[in-house]
Structure 1
Amino acid sequence: MKILMVASEAAPFAKSGGLGDVVGSLPGALRENECDVAVLLPRYKGVGLSSMRRVYDLLPVWIAGIFYQCSLYLAETSAPFYFLECPQLYGRDGYYGDAAGDYPDNAIRFAVLSRAALAVARRVFRPDIVHCHDWQTGLVPAYLNTVFANDPTYIGTKTLFTIHNLGYQGLFPKSALPAIGLDRRVFHMNGLEFFGKVSCIKAGIVYSDGISTVSRRYAVEIQTEEYGFGLDGVLRERGSKLYGIPNGVDYGNWNPETDPYIAAHYSVDDLAGKAACKRDLVREFGLPQAAMKRPLAGVVSRLTPQKGTELIIEIIPELISQDVSLVLLGSGDAEYETPLREASQAFPEHIAVRFGYDEAVAHKIEAGADMYLMPSQYEPCGLNQVYSLRYGTVPVVRATGGLDDTIEEGTGFKFREYSARSLVAAIRAASAAYQDKDAWKAMMRRGMRKDFSWRVSAAEYAGLYRKLLTARGAA
């Protein structure tokens, strides 16, 4: 099977979150399941060309009578990664926006990526399946089912649309339709229309042959009003085509036995290096040496309502009273930075924060913390709790989405009600368990033995591809 993946980011080339990790790791795992995979990404400003070769000087991308001058580059890694170069669209500091907000031309930026995917499918890599990721590529199935519905090039080509986070929908005014090359006849409740706007994520849901999301629990949750972000109805209608496949983890990048970023290596059979990693983390964040004797909680997160940032802020006084230290690495909404900064200044013995993202520091937190906090409002899959298990850092999570799927009794602590009170109770239980060193080490080891590698998940994707190819008729 030939699979063309289309996405807005993939590690190590461009990454802002879990989507980048998945698209960076899944292609290599799929190749072990008899899948010939290629990936198409935008070439953002920070993606260098030194290890790439140019495939097309001029890849023809036309939308609504406008020609977008694009080039195509190829990097051969675990799979062929193609990069669409269009400086006026992608040669910017941010992937999706800047300090002022989302780029106003994002509809066009990702419409061009979607149309370029079809040009690549015609001229460079002829796929059986186009696998699209999140709203940025939701227009691919829409184009195939409208503009190119009668094009013989794409007869038999199937589409899979993966929802990584339903909360990000790619909403644009109705006036964007001509610019993205779609007829107003698609603007209705069974098409792209969503409360008077064009929804790119709805385009992917409605027009794709199959839909997947990144955990089994989340596939159920998004069909409910609580988690459906207004799309629960259409997802229920397409429920027979909706599959939950959990994300895997690339243990080549996240492994305490080999991690180049951490102070000492350790394993499930020899935990000695964990203490050295904690000492290094305490030093990295400027906490006092006394923090070595306390439970140390870590957080690496976007600072957004989804991630439960307000709960973390709310419980800081309780952390102090429980004598728990906290280190946090985060970026996102500015409204959360001020109270976090003030807390670190008011309680420098216990609280340390750093804003932005730093890959090395993220690894240090996973290795050096005793416990890891993920009090998410919702969590499609989550990767950090799985990294934490492998590093012997006990997760404290809200039981939602992939967090509920991956954390079991005996490997971490879960709470259900989204409230500061429930989070505090879970941390109190974890802190009490921490005092029994033998029991705590046993919990660490149980988590470290869990296997969430891509092996199983990639096989599930390969099975879904085969199912789509053998299905009769359209979705």
Structure 2
Amino acid sequence: MDIVFAVSELAPHSKTGGLADVAAALPKALAATGLTVRVVTPRYGFITAGEYVGDLPVPFGFGVQTAHVFRERRHGVEIFLIDAPAYFHRGRKLYGEPDDPRRFAFFSRAVIELTRWFGKPPDVIHGNDWMTGLIPVYLRTTLRGDPFFARTATITSIHNLAFQGFFDLNDLAYFGLPGDLRQGPDGLEFSGAGSMLKGAILASDALTTVSERYAQEIQTPEYGFRMDGLLRLRRHDLVGILNGVDYDEWNPATDPHIAANYTPEDLGGKRLCKADLLARFGMPVELDRPAIVIVSRLSDQKGLDLVRDVAWRILHSGAYFLLLGSGDPRYEVFFQHLRDTAPRRVAVYFGLNEPLAHQMEAGGDMFLMPSAYEPCGLNQIYSLKYGTVPIVRATGGLDDTIQDFDRITGTGNGLKFRAYHANRLMEKIYEGLLLYRQPHVWRMLQQNGMRADFSWARAARKYRAVYERVCAL
């Protein structure tokens, strides 16, 4: 079975969040099941990887535009990078440009045209989020009569329903799509604009999302971002598949980014990692003082309003507080002020830094992830593997992966609260601090998490089952 996996970011080349990690790991796991997998992603201006293999004509913008195609091979997977300077050479930014709809409409059409190079039509084109949302729309409309794609099925994975790919409906003609997509049962109109994600939801043969709980949540008004009705209509084609973790990249026993390697059986290296982390930030190295860490996009979705509300109480508790991330300027200003007020207890790094993310996971004692909603989340799973106890809110994939610790039975792998309130978060932090003072109990909790298995092999088997189902339609 031939799969084309289309995605707007791909680690290590381009990354704003967990989607890039998924794009790097899932195709590799799918290939291990015997599938032929090709990944297609933009070649942003800062990417130097790949060997030039030719020019690709793309019908777009009332004519034919040209993209340069580069190729590399990683872990048994061919990766094709679409280089179109007019669309993708925007400094270090991946998204947030006024012409994002045109940029990713072009990418969607380029993915389709690239598949013709492979000689044999793909069995499945697997898109991800709104950035590839027009792929199934093109195949259902403009290319409906093209015999090359007669048996090609489409799947769209929804990683975050909040981002819906809005565009001006007057651009439909520029995209090369029919005008009757403005309205009607198959129309892309949504609250006065077009939505690429709506197009994917309507036109894909199947939909997946990144945890079982999130698949249920997005069918409700609370988490559905006004698309819950559409998703309920497609509920029989919607499958929740929990993301995995690439333990080749995230494993304290082998991680080259951290000061010392360690295992569940021998946690000695974790203290060395903590000492290294504190020293990197110029903080006093007091290894018995608990270190609470965050690696996150700084946004309301990630529960940073709750963290802001409890930050001073965390300091009063005696803990270190270390943060890596970027995002909403309100939070950057607040956490910089927190650091300036207590530089011996608080450290912040604003931006993306992959080695430092590994060092935070290895050197921290507790990891905060109190999200308002969380489709899956990967950092709580990384934290489990690194023996850094996750403190999470019970939503989406956080609820699926973290079981609240029971000190009587010794079961559970983290600490979890339900009501979205700063006091509930602080209660769990206090519980974590109390457990931290009981080394035998704390070690049991760490080992429970480190021995959990969230590898991609399980998820890959479930995705393969979805592929086989849509190909049989």
Q: Under a length normalisation based on structure 1, what TM-score does the superposition of the two structures give?
A: 0.96
Distance 1:370 1:270 in 2: 16
Matched, 1:61 2:63: no
Deviation readout 1:7-66 (Å, 9 max, x if unpaired) = 1011112111100000111111101212100011111112114xx32222x211012422
Q: Indicate conservation of the 8 Å contact 1:6/1:41, yes or no.
A: yes
Equivalent residues in 2 for 1:25-40, closer than 5 Å: 25-40=25-40
Report what 1:203 is aligned to.
199
Question: What is the identity, as a one-letter code, of the residue corresponding to 1:215?
Answer: S
Distance 1:284 1:198 in 2: 47
Q: Aligned match of 1:313 in 302, 305, 308?
A: 308
Matched, 1:276 2:278: no
Report what 2:407 is aligned to.
none
Matched, 1:71 2:77: no
Distance 1:174 1:422 in 2: 44
Report what 1:372 is aligned to.
367
Secondary structure, aligned partner of 1:38 = strand
Q: Aligned match of 1:303 in 271, 295, 298?
A: 298
Secondary structure, aligned partner of 2:426 = helix
Report what 1:176 is aligned to.
171
Report what 1:463 is aligned to.
465
Report what 1:255 is aligned to.
251
Question: What is the identity, as a one-letter code, of the residue corresponding to 1:183?
Answer: P
Distance 1:115 1:289 in 2: 54
Report what 1:244 is aligned to.
240
Matched, 1:222 2:214: no
Question: What is the identity, as a one-letter code, of the residue corresponding to 2:341?
Answer: A
Distance 1:427 1:268 in 2: 23
Deviation readout 1:212-257 (Å, 9 max, x if unpaired) = 0000000000000011111000000000000001111100110101
Report what 1:347 is aligned to.
342
Deviation readout 1:318-347 (Å, 9 max, x if unpaired) = 102211211000111111111111111112
Secondary structure, aligned partner of 2:113 = helix
Q: Aligned match of 1:415 in 414, 417, 431?
A: 417
Q: CA deviation at 1:289?
A: 2.6
Secondary structure, aligned partner of 2:349 = strand
After superposition, the Cα gap between the structure-2 partners of 1:189 and 1:165, relative to the gap in structure 1 and judged at 3 Å, is farther
Question: What is the identity, as a one-letter code, of the residue corresponding to 2:154?
Answer: T
Q: Aligned match of 1:397 in 392, 395, 410?
A: 392
Q: CA deviation at 1:368?
A: 0.4
Q: Indicate conservation of the 8 Å contact 2:44/2:94, yes or no.
A: no
Secondary structure, aligned partner of 2:429 = helix
Distance 1:63 1:158 in 2: 22
Q: CA deviation at 1:70?
A: 0.8
Question: What is the identity, as a one-letter code, of the residue corresponding to 1:31?
Answer: A
Question: What is the identity, as a one-letter code, of the residue corresponding to 2:194?
Answer: V
Distance 2:466 2:101 in 1: 29
Q: CA deviation at 1:171?
A: 0.8
Question: What is the identity, as a one-letter code, of the residue corresponding to 2:85?
Answer: P
After superposition, the Cα gap between the structure-2 partners of 1:95 and 1:8, relative to the gap in structure 1 and judged at 3 Å, is farther
Matched, 1:106 2:100: yes
Question: What is the identity, as a one-letter code, of the residue corresponding to 1:445?
Answer: Q
Secondary structure, aligned partner of 1:47 = coil
Q: CA deviation at 1:447?
A: 0.4
Equivalent residues in 2 for 1:179-194, closer than 5 Å: 179-188=174-183, 190=185, 191-194=187-190
Distance 1:197 1:184 in 2: 14
Question: What is the identity, as a one-letter code, of the residue corresponding to 1:7?
Answer: V
Q: CA deviation at 1:183?
A: 2.0
Report what 1:431 is aligned to.
433
Deviation readout 1:267-307 (Å, 9 max, x if unpaired) = 011100010011111111222233x2221111000011111
Secondary structure, aligned partner of 1:250 = coil
Question: What is the identity, as a one-letter code, of the residue corresponding to 2:80?
Answer: Y
Equivalent residues in 2 for 1:87-166, closer than 5 Å: 87-97=85-95, 102-124=96-118, 126-166=121-161
Question: What is the identity, as a one-letter code, of the residue corresponding to 1:5?
Answer: F
Q: CA deviation at 1:189?
A: 5.7
Q: Indicate conservation of the 8 Å contact 1:192/1:199, yes or no.
A: yes
Report what 2:42 is aligned to.
42
Question: What is the identity, as a one-letter code, of the residue corresponding to 2:245?
Answer: V
Secondary structure, aligned partner of 1:439 = helix
Q: Indicate conservation of the 8 Å contact 1:129/1:158, yes or no.
A: yes
Distance 1:53 1:430 in 2: 50
Secondary structure, aligned partner of 1:293 = coil
Distance 1:71 1:87 in 2: 9
Q: Aligned match of 2:453 in 451, 454, 464?
A: 451
Distance 1:343 1:215 in 2: 34
Q: Sequence identity, in percent?
A: 44
Q: Indicate conservation of the 8 Å contact 1:107/1:180, yes or no.
A: no
Q: Indicate conservation of the 8 Å contact 1:177/1:183, yes or no.
A: yes
Q: CA deviation at 1:167?
A: 1.0
Question: What is the identity, as a one-letter code, of the residue corresponding to 2:11?
Answer: A
Report what 2:409 is aligned to.
none
Secondary structure, aligned partner of 1:220 = helix
Secondary structure, aligned partner of 1:289 = coil
Q: Aligned match of 1:287 in 280, 283, 290?
A: 283
Deviation readout 1:340-380 (Å, 9 max, x if unpaired) = 11111112232211111111111110000001000111100
Distance 2:400 2:258 in 1: 28
Q: Indicate conservation of the 8 Å contact 1:329/1:356, yes or no.
A: yes
Q: CA deviation at 1:178?
A: 2.0
Deviation readout 1:414-450 (Å, 9 max, x if unpaired) = 0111111111011011111111100000110010000
Q: Under a length normalisation based on structure 2, what TM-score does the superposition of the two structures give?
A: 0.96
Report what 1:20 is aligned to.
20
Distance 1:95 1:20 in 2: 14
Task: For structure 2, list consecutive stretches of 5 or more residues without a partner in the other structure.
Answer: 405-411
Distance 1:188 1:307 in 2: 34
Distance 2:160 2:422 in 1: 24
Q: Indicate conservation of the 8 Å contact 1:263/1:280, yes or no.
A: yes
